[in-house]
């Protein structure tokens, strides 16, 4: 059953565990001290739909500071009425924009600058202008779109009444909200209404949070920006045309030291592995826990010019972008798990060749909490400026813990994991080392891996052979960890690549070398 091609004991894709088969019983939707639900759970559980949970605005460091808060005032640059509540200005601007028969990029810019006066002359909107010019009546932009996004943004006080807690460092906590609430929060990000979120630098209040206002997406026109904006505009076209009907959960998971495995003492054997050189995590990995090759600042350069795996994922599933509003920078033993986000776009290419392709037709079912059966886990690998920096056990252990944090399940029936060259593109990791680290973490978490090598045929073959050896020789995680210690200790010849890990595994664990070592004892 398992053998696919050649001498590997790898599994077929169809043998991997995916969500519909796992049939996790969730029970009623409920909130708790660590799970904030922004819709009324009684109404939802009674089958009467998604109604915003009542609540009140909280202007506090533990919560998202909302644009409509009465505590948010116009400050610098708004000379006439220094104490004007900022939402009054936002409301006036967006309301008059939404009433216009035609709204140009200049109108949008003027509105945004009215409540962000400090940035007059600094923020550029040329990328947005060039998209609109190229696409006056096209697929991604219709003449009434800005008005509709403005209308949606204005519904914020009615749609999100309960304060949104920040998912802070060191705390496991979750937020569940409706897709309509997310659309409204993102419409506000589009109109750059979030207070205190435009400054960066170490003294800024949100210096440890990713940016959320869309400012950077609108300027510095480039082919990349244009493609990103096409996807974003397409998202807003869809959500303003028809209300989405589901919920999405964002969970920050933070492991305590006592929950981390002692890797030297871990006698688990390899779990299932499927390796493919073709296919992507998001397509072929449907139904599995899909790994986001993340930045510790969730979403990475999605609102700037970054356009690799994480940014693409966020651009085709724009609901993920809202995580930037409330997720503090991830620490070493933390990850973010998102359940239920919707894919709106299809794409082709990668990086500079990325192109928005067409609308994605979502065919996934929903779980008992009305969440689409898509689960994404964001884990950030270490960024190595020089490849040689990664061969030390402190970093290897950090990566093992990070992968384990993302991979571990809470229940017995969890889906397998779809991953690939995590940390090995923009972050410069060694593909073989990272593959072995992920195999070890998955073994410890007792979950299978579907590994997509992204057209790297030789990695596919090497990984299949390595896995075959590890399985047939019953090699456990602790044995691999000890081997990695040797591997890291092996000096690297000046200017050359580090020792080939798959080769080292072959030399150490193949039956002939075991016999040899027994004989030499």
Residues with active-site annotation: 292, 310-311
Stretch binding ligand AR6 (CB under 6 A), from 267-275, 302-310, 471-479, 510-518: 302-310
SS3 readout for 169-235: CCCCEEEEEEHHHHHHHHHHHHCCCCCCCCCCCCCCCCCCCCCCCCHHHHCCCCHHHHHHHHHHHHH
Binding window for ligand AR6 (CB under 6 A); candidates: 19-27, 170-178, 298-306, 340-348 = 298-306
Count of residues near ligand AR6 by CB under 6 A:
24
Q: Name the 3-class secondary structure at 355.
A: strand
Q: Give Rg (Cα) of the chain.
A: 25
Residues 6+ apart with CB under 8 A from 365: 20, 372, 373
Establish if 210 lies at the interface with ligand AR6 (CB under 6 A): no
Residue 239 three-state SS: helix
Q: Interface residues for ligand AR6 in 376-395 (CB under 6 A)?
A: 381
Report the distance separating Cα 70 and Cα 81, nearest Å: 15
- Residue 181 lies near ligand AR6 (rule: CB under 6 A): no
List the one residue from 19, 50, 94, 281 that touches ligand AR6 (CB under 6 A). 281
Q: Judged by CB under 6 A, does residue 471 bind ligand AR6?
A: no
Which of the 8 DSSP states describes residue 498?
Answer: P
Burial bucket for residue 427 (CB in 10 Å: 0-12, 13-18, 19+): buried
Least Å from the CB of residue 214 to ligand AR6? 17
Can residue 488 be called a binding residue for ligand AR6 (CB under 6 A)?
A: no
C-beta of residue 65 within 8 angstroms of C-beta of residue 72: yes
Binding test (CB under 6 A) with ligand AR6, winner from 282, 319, 334, 473: 282
User: 116 or 309, CB closer to ligand AR6?
Assistant: 309
Task: Select from 427, 481, 487, 502 the one that contacts ligand AR6 (CB under 6 A).
Answer: 427
Distance of alpha carbon 416 from alpha carbon 281, whole angstroms: 12
C-alpha dist (Å) from residue 467 to 9, 134, 270 = 7, 50, 8
The interface with ligand AR6 within residues 14-53 (CB under 6 A) comprises none
Give the closest residue to 252 by CA, choosing from 310, 169, 318: 169
CA distance 197 to 193: 9
Interface residue with ligand AR6, options 261, 287, 300, 415 (CB under 6 A): 300
Contact, 214 vs 192, CB < 8 A? yes
Which position among 87, 235, 454, 467 is part of the footprint of ligand AR6 (CB under 6 A)?
454
Collapsed DSSP state (helix, strand, coil) of residue 420: strand
Q: Nearest residue to ligand AR6, using CB?
A: 300
Check residue 60 and report its DSSP letter: S
Whole-angstrom distance, CA of residue 247 vs CA of residue 252: 17
> Residues 422, 481, 487, 509: which binds ligand AR6 (CB under 6 A)?
422
Q: Is 280 in the site for ligand AR6 (CB under 6 A)?
A: yes
Q: Which of 24, 41, 85, 308 binds ligand AR6 (CB under 6 A)?
A: 308
Decide if residue 310 touches ligand AR6 (CB under 6 A): yes
Tell me if 209 contacts ligand AR6 by CB under 6 A: no
Near ligand AR6 by CB under 6 A: residue from 157, 219, 409, 425: 425
The answer to the question of residue 174 lying near ligand AR6 (CB under 6 A) is no
Task: From 42-50, 74-82, 184-192, 422-430, give the range in contact with ligand AR6 by CB under 6 A.
Answer: 422-430
Q: At its nearest, how many Å lie between ligand AR6 and the CB of residue 402? A: 11
Footprint of ligand AR6 on this chain (CB under 6 A)? Answer: 280-282, 293-295, 300-301, 306, 308-311, 381, 420-427, 452, 454
């Amino acid at each position: 059953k398992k053998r696919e091609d050649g001498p590997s004991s790898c599994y077929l894709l169809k043998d991997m565990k995916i969500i519909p088969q796992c049939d996790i019983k969730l029970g009623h939707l409920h909130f708790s001290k660590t799970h904030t639900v922004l819709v009324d759970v009684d109404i939802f559980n009674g089958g009467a739909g998604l109604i915003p949970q009542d609540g009140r605005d909280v202007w506090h460091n533990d919560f998202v500071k909302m644009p409509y808060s009465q505590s948010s005032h116009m400050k610098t640059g708004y000379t006439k009425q220094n104490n004007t509540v900022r939402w009054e200005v936002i409301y006036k601007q967006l309301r008059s924009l939404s009433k216009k028969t035609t709204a140009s990029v200049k109108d949008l810019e003027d509105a945004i600058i009215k409540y962000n006066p400090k940035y007059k002359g600094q923020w550029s909107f040329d990328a947005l202008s060039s998209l609109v010019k190229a696409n006056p009546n096209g697929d991604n932009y219709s003449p009434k779109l800005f008005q509709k996004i403005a209308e949606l943004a204005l519904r914020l006080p009615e749609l999100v009444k309960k304060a949104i807690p920040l998912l802070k460092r060191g705390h496991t906590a979750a937020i569940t909200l409706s897709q309509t609430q997310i659309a409204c929060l993102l419409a506000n990000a589009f109109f750059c209404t979030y207070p205190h979120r435009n400054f960066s630098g170490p003294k800024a209040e949100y210096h440890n949070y990713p940016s959320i206002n869309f400012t950077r997406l609108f300027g510095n026109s480039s082919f990349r920006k244009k493609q990103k904006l096409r996807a974003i505009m397409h998202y807003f076209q869809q959500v303003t045309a028809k209300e989405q009907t589901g919920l999405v959960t964002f969970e920050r998971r933070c492991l305590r030291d006592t929950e981390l495995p002692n890797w030297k003492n871990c006698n688990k054997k390899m779990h299932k592995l499927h390796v493919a050189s073709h296919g992507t995590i998001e397509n072929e990995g449907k139904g599995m826990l899909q790994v986001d090759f993340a930045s510790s600042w969730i979403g990475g350069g999605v609102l700037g010019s970054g356009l690799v795996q994480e940014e693409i994922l966020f651009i085709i599933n724009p609901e993920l972008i809202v995580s930037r509003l409330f997720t503090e920078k991830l620490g070493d033993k933390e990850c973010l798990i998102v359940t239920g986000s919707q894919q709106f776009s299809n794409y082709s290419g990668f990086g500079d060749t990325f192109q928005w392709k067409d609308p994605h037709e979502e065919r996934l079912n929903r779980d008992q909490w009305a969440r689409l059966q898509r689960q994404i886990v964001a884990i950030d690998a270490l960024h190595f400026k020089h490849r040689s920096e990664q061969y030390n056990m402190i970093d290897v252990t950090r990566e093992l813990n990070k992968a384990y944090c993302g991979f571990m399940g809470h229940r017995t029936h969890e889906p397998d994991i779809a991953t690939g060259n995590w940390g090995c593109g923009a972050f410069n990791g060694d593909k073989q080392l990272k593959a072995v680290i992920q195999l070890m973490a998955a073994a410890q978490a007792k979950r299978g891996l579907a590994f997509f090598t992204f057209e790297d045929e030789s990695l596919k073959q090497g990984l299949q052979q390595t896995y075959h050896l590890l399985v047939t020789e019953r090699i456990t995680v602790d044995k691999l960890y000890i081997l990695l210690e040797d591997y890291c200790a092996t000096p690297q010849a000046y200017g050359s690549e580090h020792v080939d890990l798959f080769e080292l595994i072959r030399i150490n664990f193949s039956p002939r070398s075991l016999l040899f070592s027994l004989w030499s004892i």
